[in-house]
Structure formats: structure tokens, C-alpha cells
Chains A and B, each alone.
Chain A
Amino acid sequence: MADDLILLNLWSSPFGMRVRIALAEKGLDYELIEEDLSNKSPLLLKMNPVRKQIPVLIHKGRPICESLIIVQYIDEVWRHKSPLLPSDPYARAKSRFWADYVDKNIYAIGKLVWGATGEIQEAAKKELIEWFKVLEGEVGDKPYFGGDSFGIVDVALIPFYSWFYAVETCGNFSIVAECPKLVSWAKRCMERESVSKSLPDQYKMYCFLLELKTKFQAQ
């Protein structure tokens, strides 16, 4: 492999999608290994013994874990093409802040919207809409969160677009009605090949998440 890269991944993971988008933005070749999380490979356990999670990027035999840390690593090593962070320290700080915001808030709450029922689901829905509105306020009318250039905040958030059909259907609400600018931003990102090739179809994701939901409820 020209760039000596392996990605341990799961097709449905928004965190894995982030890394795939970053690698594609940089035009990098890599070997994609799909993990079965119910039967983790010896390679995954060796490369991420602490968290035993995907994604893991293995570069020249050395593992890098945690999706946003991987994205920053990719950006630093292959700095010359499609930078994902601006060069000004304050602009970088703002990007890191918003990427971290997405990391801290969207996954856990989104999961409750498609995964839970009743009061818990309702409360999660309200919170998710709130978080989305904050993000919508931040992107505004700009093409991307960082302005004209696609960057780490977009990479952090856009994978959750693959959840939109699932959260809307399970939560019984319309994201475009609540946050039209956020949806415009998402569609703009989807026009990039790096994104459209890294995100699964929303309906496929919905079916998969429903299966997971049924499994959790049965347990």
C-alpha cells in the first residue's frame, strides 16, 4: 500500500466515517478492515488495548485511536493537501471547540432519539433539536463551519447526517423544519465525493439502527 495505512472500521460508525472522509479529502490509499464488534479481531485488541474500539488508523504499523485525534493526525502528516484545520491559532481553537462540542453532545443524545421510547426519547429529542440549533447558529449562511473551506467541524458532524432519517422517523419530527440551514449545510457537504462515498444510505442506516434498538429492548 502506497501510504502504508490500515483503517479498522465499522460501516455504521459515525466515528469511522470521520476518518474515511479525512483520508478521502487527502487522497490517501488505505486498506479498510471491517470489524465485527461482537467478535473483536486480535489486531483491534492489539492496536487499541485501552478502549478496544474502532476506528483505529494504523500508519506504518503504529496505531492512532479516537476519531478526532486521528483526523488531526492525518491533517498534520499530510498538511500539504486540503487542510482540515486553518493555520491561525484562534481559528484553530474555534474549530477544535466546535468539533469537541459535536463529540460531547450529538452521539449520546442522538442515540436516545432513535434508541429509546417514551419520556426519555421525548427529552432527548428536545435536547437534540437544541444542540442542532446551536450548531445551525454557528454555521449560519457560511458554506462550511470554518467558512469557505471544508474542515474538521464539518468532518465531525456530517456523519450524523446518516442518522437523520432514523431520528426523524423514530422521534417523529422533521429536522429540516427545525433547522433548515443545518440541512442545507449537510446537503452541501454531501456534494463532496469524500463525504458521499463515506456515508451509508440513510434508509440502510435506519434499518440497521432499528435492529440494534430491538436487540437492546430484548435484553
Chain B
Amino acid sequence: MAEVKVIGSSASLFCLRVEWALKFKGVEYEYLEEDLRNKSPMLLKYNPVYKKIPVLLHHDKSIPESLVILDYVEETWKDNPLMPEDPYEKATARFWAKFADEKCIFGAWGACRAEGEEKEKAIESAIESFKFLEKQIEGKKFFSGEQIGYLDLVLGWIPIYLNVMEEVGDMKLVGAERFPLLHEWSQNFIETPLIKECSPARDKLVNYFTASLSYLRSLETKKQ
């Protein structure tokens, strides 16, 4: 029986960062795909509070919430540290991780979902958030420095998911002209072998986001 398991969904960017962290640490794990429209008793048992993926199982211990999982992985498997050692740099990385999760992911998804005038406003707001990231990468190859680290894994959804959200949501948020540094980081990031190895296929993501958007819009229509 595998010591480490990840309960996840192959379209989820939150699961992807967990898998990347485990791969970087050289931790073998078993991946268990969850059908989110028909949640398994296992998921409900191991994440009774939120009933969401990802959940990391390590022996009989279960840890939900991707950023909590990343901290756990970092503290349990000490090889190839992903986090800076210095407490101030660690706090800074955590700040940007929280900011990006709250403002960039939900900003982009919000802009994707919105329509009409609201969409314009949502796009503008999301772009403002990404500007902060562009500034953060200035002078560095990766957010964590010379090598990929915690913050790169947390932001790693950008090169893989953002373009899909832009296509599905019929919008432009982050392009090479407007965000050249972010674009360069994205190229460096996705070319890294470990990252390439377990990134989901683009067409799968397009299908997933298209279906999610239709579903959400149909719910909104029903409410009206």
C-alpha cells in the first residue's frame, strides 16, 4: 500500500501544485482521481469540513487545503527544500502565495465568468493584480530565485491554466507584450522537465473549463 496518496482531480490547479511539490521532493505517491460530481466516501471521510480536493494522505493522516499541504510536504520531507530558510523571505513568499490565490486565480476566473460591463471591470481588476506579480519577478529567473521553489509552484498554474481561461472566457489578461517578465518566467517554468512531466493536456482543460462555465451560467439562468 502506498505510503503517500493524493486525492485529486486532474483538472485542478490546486492538485497540480501538490503533485509538483511531491515530485520535486522525490516522494513517490499514488494518485486517486476523484469524480467531483459524485464525491467518494473516501473524500468525505478525509475532508469532512470542505469535501474538496486536493487531500494528501500520509499513512493514516489526512491533510486538506493545498497551501497547508505544501507546508506539510516541506516540513516532512527535508530534501530539496522549496521554502526559503530565512523567516522574512518565507513570510514574503507566503504573502505572495495568498495574494495570488485570492486575487489572481479568483480574479481570472471571475473575469472568465463575467459578461458585458461587469466583464470589462473584472478584466481590469485582474490585470492590476497580475501587475504586482510582474514586478515581483523583476531581476529573477524564478520567483524563488535561481531555482524553482514554493512560490513558483503556487503560481505555476499561470502558464498552464490562464491561457485556457482566456480562451474559454473570451478575454485577454496576460500577454507577452503586456507582461514580458511573467511571460519569460512562464516559459522557463513549463520547460522544466519535472513540471512538463505531470502537466495536464490543454484540450482536457479547455473541455473542463468550458463545461464548468456552461454549468455555472445555466445555474444563473435558472435563478432568474
**B residues in contact with A100, CB < 8 Å:** 65, 67-68
| B88 contacts A62, C-beta separation under 8 Å | yes
Please measure, in the bound complex, the distance between the C-alpha atom of A89 and the C-alpha atom of B63, giving whole angstroms.
11
Q: Which of A73, A76, A97 contacts B64 (CB 8 A)?
A: A97
Q: Judge if A69 is at the interface, Cβ distance under 8 Å.
A: yes
| Interface of A: prevailing SS | helix
**B residues in contact with A96, CB < 8 Å:** 65, 68, 71
| A77 contacts B87, C-beta separation under 8 Å | yes
Q: Which of A50, A64, A73, A92 contacts B71 (CB 8 A)?
A: A92
Q: Which of A51, A73, A90, A93 contacts B88 (CB 8 A)?
A: A73
Please measure, in the bound complex, the distance between the C-alpha atom of A69 and the C-alpha atom of B99, giving whole angstroms.
12
| A72 contacts B91, C-beta separation under 8 Å | yes
- B51-73 vs A, CB cutoff 8 Å, 1 = contact: the mask equals 00000001001011101110110
| A93 contacts B87, C-beta separation under 8 Å | no
Classify chain B's interface size.
20 to 34
| B87 contacts A73, C-beta separation under 8 Å | yes
For chain A, the count of residues having a C-beta within 8 Å of the partner chain is 22
**Segment 66-114 of A: residues with Cβ below 8 Å from B:** 66, 69-70, 72-73, 76-77, 89-90, 92-93, 96-97, 100-101
Q: Judge if A153 is at the interface, Cβ distance under 8 Å.
A: no
Q: Can you list 16 residue pairs at the A/B interface with Cβ under 8 Å? A: A51-B99, A59-B88, A62-B88, A66-B94, A69-B94, A72-B94, A73-B88, A76-B87, A90-B61, A90-B72, A92-B71, A93-B61, A93-B63, A96-B65, A100-B68, A101-B49
> Interface of A with B (CB < 8 Å)?
50-51, 59, 62, 64-66, 69-70, 72-73, 76-77, 89-90, 92-93, 96-97, 100-101, 134
- Closest 3 A-B residue pairs measured CB to CB? A89-B75, A76-B87, A93-B72
